[in-house]
């Protein structure tokens, strides 16, 4: 180790630097002076700069009190509607309009938008009445917009004594749970058609409240036409369902008033031959945060055929005027995106439009079809319904009929979303939704060609060679059509044609469960097609599922095949807790399938017909017999 170097301090070392130099003293004094000046010297207050906030379009505050709204607008009748396809809403608006003819004022209301516990306050309004136009969705369920009202009805403990109310239930007799929601709202509901019900309704109301009809039989307008000569086109609706520019700036969550704009990534023809066009479409939902389960439905918002829109515009002299629909929009946008111009017009539309027919015979014909007389009903059935005349056909076949386009837009019902059973599993395909549909196109009695709005619109949503993907406004509606909680439960699926759609999702999910090592019960499919070599949908995929053992039995469905497998089916149902699923036509197929199961229960199970019917009704109650059917 080296010795440390030690040296004696020199004179230079012993002369230490001063702790504070004169420069330091100067700087310290300057800082102290500035601080004293800042805190103690009086000075003029400086205005604080104002940052101008960004002002967006003012959003109207939603009124949740229908009582206050009725008081502000001097209404004494409120018509609530439970509507899935728009019919209930249309009937509610018709009643609200009719009230004026009886010296009363009505308003249509969506129960989802109001506090329904306020029904107990309705008696605050003299001669008040609540009317419920309630449709039924699926197997006796309330419609989406009436679900909260239904829940409230089940748990409500408010005092509704003294509430004046009436109910009109909308239903389709082809469904097992026909009119269930209307019956629940009023147990004594009579099964009458709307026109007959309405003709009895108003006289009863007049007698109850001691009022008389005003005698006014003229057209009653609900909306005022406002002409905008100088409009910022960024503030004009061009197909959005709710929020302006919602298609340009997409924001979740997505629902019926805020659909997601999904890209079409696949659009291929499924059938190998025949005159029909059956298609498989895939929608990309990658960035949407939308989740779905097997058995759910996808709703798509179609647009009307551009040629039909153009011809209506030509017939009525369409101009560039703006129509407040939703508010504001152009006539062309209203006819393209918002109005149902393809279906047959209802009698109230014919009645309102009759005044614009210059030919007395044509005017009389329209008024007769709008009446409740037997002759009028027969004429309407034959000339409008059976001949499938839409509003364009009516205008063309009644040459003197030239209504103002703004009144026509007011009368036509809203173009509704179309629902399709999803043909994929969200667990297997989390980023895409698959649709299986058949294009509707056939000749009518008038020599015209009827084209389904949504299916023809979807058919044309083709992916271009350059990779450009068209878009589809959509959202997912939850369903009760679900696989059993235990994968080990057997499933029996029956679905002809496009009724196979939800079962593709079921089978994909059962395949995934099998891959995950779970015990998967028997999976049996009865699939119906017209010609096996033409429209055996998803043939390659189904045969592969059968080869790998996921699909334990694949039957190309004809009616007798259920009875041919009667012993096996009864054992699966009665002993092994199998779940039965039926998807397709409610009018014929679903009833025939039920009848076949009743026969099996009688023949193999030894039940009487009454016992067999009760047996399968109990399975429905337990969720072991599910139907996803349409009429």
Give the active site residue among 83, 246, 421, 424: 421
**Are the CB atoms for 594 and 588 separated by under 8 Å?**
no
Which residue among the candidates 128, 511, 583, 626 is catalytic per the annotation? 583
Compute the distance between CA of residue 572 and CA of residue 484 in angstroms, rounded to an integer.
Answer: 14
User: Helix or strand or coil: residue 336?
Assistant: helix
Question: Which one-letter DSSP state was computed for residue 338?
Answer: I
**What is the pairing mode between strands 329-330 and 322-323?**
antiparallel
The span from the CA of 403 to the CA of 400, in Å, is 9
The pairs formed by 553-560 with CB atoms below 8 angstroms and a separation of 24 or more are 553/522, 553/523, 553/524, 553/525, 554/525, 554/527, 555/524, 555/525, 555/526, 555/527, 556/527, 556/528, 556/529, 556/532, 557/494, 557/495, 557/496, 557/526, 557/527, 557/528, 557/529, 558/528, 559/592, 559/596
Half-sphere exposure of 81 (CA within 13 A, CB side): 19
Question: Coil, helix or strand for 611?
Answer: helix
Q: Does residue 628 have an active-site annotation?
A: yes
Q: State the DSSP code for 559.
A: T
Is 358 designated active site?
Answer: no
Q: Is the sign of the CA dihedral 340, 342, 343, 346 positive or negative?
A: positive
By the 8 A CB rule, do 364 and 398 touch? no
Residue 421 annotated among the catalytic residues of the structure: yes
Catalytic position from the list 197, 202, 570, 630 = 630
C-alpha of 588 from chain center: 25
Q: Is the dihedral of CA 142, 146, 147, 152 positive or negative?
A: negative
| Cα–Cα separations (whole angstroms), residue 166 to 169, 369, 381 | 10, 27, 28
Which residue out of 98, 296, 406, 628 is catalytically annotated?
Answer: 628
Is 630 annotated in the active site? yes
Sign of CA dihedral 618, 623, 628, 630: positive
Cα distance between residue 123 and residue 158, in whole Å: 13
**Spatial distance between the Cα atoms of 579 and 296, rounded to a whole number of angstroms:** 17
Cβ contacts of 337 within 8 Å, gap of 6 or more: 238, 239, 301, 303, 304, 415
By CB atoms closer than 10 A (0-12, 13-18, 19+), residue 436 is buried
C-alpha 76, offset from chain centre: 30
Specify the residue for token string 């659009």. 267
Angle (CA) 374 445 380, round 5°: 20
Q: How far is CA 24 from the centre of its chain?
A: 79
Catalytic residue ranges: 421, 583, 628, 630
């Amino acid at each position: 180790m080296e010795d440390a170097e030690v040296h004696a301090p020199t004179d230079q070392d012993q002369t230490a630097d001063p702790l504070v130099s004169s420069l330091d003293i100067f700087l310290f004094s300057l800082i102290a002076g500035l601080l004293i000046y800042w805190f103690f010297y009086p000075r003029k207050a400086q205005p604080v700069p104002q940052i101008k906030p960004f002002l967006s379009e003012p959003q109207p505050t939603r009124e949740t009190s229908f009582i206050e709204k009725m008081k502000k607008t001097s209404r004494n009748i409120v018509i609530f509607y439970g509507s899935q396809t728009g019919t209930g809403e249309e009937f509610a608006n018709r009643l609200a309009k009719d009230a004026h003819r009886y010296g009363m004022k009505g308003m249509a209301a969506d129960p989802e938008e109001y506090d329904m516990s306020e029904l107990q306050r309705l008696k605050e309004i003299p001669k008040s009445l609540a009317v419920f136009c309630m449709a039924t969705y699926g197997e006796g369920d309330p419609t989406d917009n009436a679900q909260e009202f239904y829940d409230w009805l089940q748990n409500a403990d408010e005092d509704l004594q003294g509430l004046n109310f009436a109910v009109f239930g909308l239903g389709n007799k082809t469904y097992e749970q026909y009119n269930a929601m209307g019956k629940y709202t009023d147990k004594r509901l009579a099964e009458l058609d709307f026109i007959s019900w309405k003709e009895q309704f108003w006289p009863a109301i007049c007698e109850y409240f001691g009022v008389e009809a005003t005698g006014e039989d003229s057209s009653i307008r609900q909306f005022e036409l406002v002409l905008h000569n100088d409009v910022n086109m960024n503030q004009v609706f061009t197909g959005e369902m709710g929020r302006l520019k919602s298609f340009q700036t997409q924001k979740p969550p997505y629902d019926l008033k805020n659909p997601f704009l999904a890209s079409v990534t696949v659009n291929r023809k499924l059938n190998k031959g025949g005159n029909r066009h059956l298609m498989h479409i895939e929608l990309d939902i990658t960035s949407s945060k939308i989740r779905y389960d097997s058995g759910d439905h996808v709703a798509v918002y179609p647009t009307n055929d551009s040629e039909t829109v153009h011809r209506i515009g030509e017939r009525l002299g369409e101009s560039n005027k703006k129509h407040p629909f939703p508010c504001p929009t152009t006539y062309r946008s209203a006819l393209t995106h918002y109005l149902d111009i393809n279906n047959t017009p209802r009698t109230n539309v014919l009645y309102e439009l009759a005044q614009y027919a210059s030919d007395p015979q044509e005017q009389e014909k329209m008024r007769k079809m709008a009446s409740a007389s037997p002759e009028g009903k027969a004429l309407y059935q034959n000339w409008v319904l059976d001949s499938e005349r839409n509003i364009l056909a009516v205008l063309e076949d009644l040459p003197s009929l030239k209504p103002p386009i703004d009144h026509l837009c007011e009368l036509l019902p809203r173009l509704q979303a179309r629902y399709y059973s999803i043909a994929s599993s969200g667990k297997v395909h989390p980023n895409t939704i698959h649709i299986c549909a058949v294009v509707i196109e056939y000749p009518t009695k008038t020599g015209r060609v009827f084209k389904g709005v949504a299916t023809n619109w979807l058919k044309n949503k083709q992916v271009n060679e350059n990779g450009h993907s068209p878009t589809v406004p959509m959202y997912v509606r939850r369903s009760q059509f679900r696989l059993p909680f235990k994968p080990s439960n057997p499933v029996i699926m029956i679905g002809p044609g496009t009724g196979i759609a939800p079962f593709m999702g079921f089978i994909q999910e059962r395949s995934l469960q099998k891959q995950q090592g779970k015990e998967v019960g028997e999976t049996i499919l009865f699939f119906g097609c017209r010609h096996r070599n033409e429209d055996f949908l998803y043939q390659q995929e189904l045969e592969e599922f059968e080869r790998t053992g996921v699909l334990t039995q694949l039957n190309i469905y004809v009616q007798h095949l259920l009875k041919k497998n009667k012993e096996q089916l009864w054992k699966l149902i009665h002993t092994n807790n199998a779940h039965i699923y039926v998807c397709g036509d409610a009018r014929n197929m679903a009833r025939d399938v039920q009848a076949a199961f009743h026969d099996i229960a009688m023949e193999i199970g030894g039940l009487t017909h009454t016992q067999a019917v009760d047996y399968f009704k109990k399975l429905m109650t337990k969720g072991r017999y599910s139907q996803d059917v349409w009429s």
